Structure 1
Amino acid sequence: MEIHKVDTSDPRDVERFVQFPFRLYRDCPQWVPPLVSSARKQLDRERHFFYSHSDADFFLALQGGKVVGRIAVLEPRKRNAYRGRRGAFFYLFEAVEDIEVARALFAAAFDWARSRGLGEMSGPEGFAAGDALGALVEGFEHRPAMGVAYNYAYYDGFIRDAGFRKQTDYLSCYLPGDIQLPERFRRIAEKVKERRGFKVLRFRTKDELRAIAPRVIEAYNAAFVENRDFVPITGEDAVKVADRLISLTRPDLVKVVAKGEQIVGFLLGFPDVSAALRRCKGRLYPFGWALLLWEFRRTRWINFNGAGILPQYRGLGANAVLYYEMFKTFKERGFLHADLVQINEQNTKMMQELEALGADFYKAHRIYERRL
Structure 2
Amino acid sequence: MIEITTLQTEALALLKNLIATQSFSSQEEGTALHLENWFKSHKIDYKREKNNIWAVNKDFDEKKPTLLLNSHHDTVQPNNGYTNDPYEPFVKDGKLFGLGSNDAGGCLVSLIATFTYFYAEKDLNYNLVLVASAEEESSGPNGLNSMLAIIPKIDVAIVGEPTQMHLAVAEKGLVVFDALVKGTPSHAAHPNDYNAIYNCIPVLEWFRDFKFEEVSEALGEVKMTVTQINGGKQHNAVPADVALVIDVRVNDKYTNQEIADILIEKSPCDTLIPRSLRLNSSSIPTDHELVKAGIALGRKTYGSPTLSDQATLTCPSLKLGPGDSTRSHSADEFIYVSEIEEGIEIYIELLHRILR
TM-score (norm 1): 0.29
TM-score (norm 2): 0.30
More helix by share: 1
Structure with the greater relative contact order (CA < 8 A, sep ≥ 6): 1 or 2? 2
Larger radius of gyration: 2
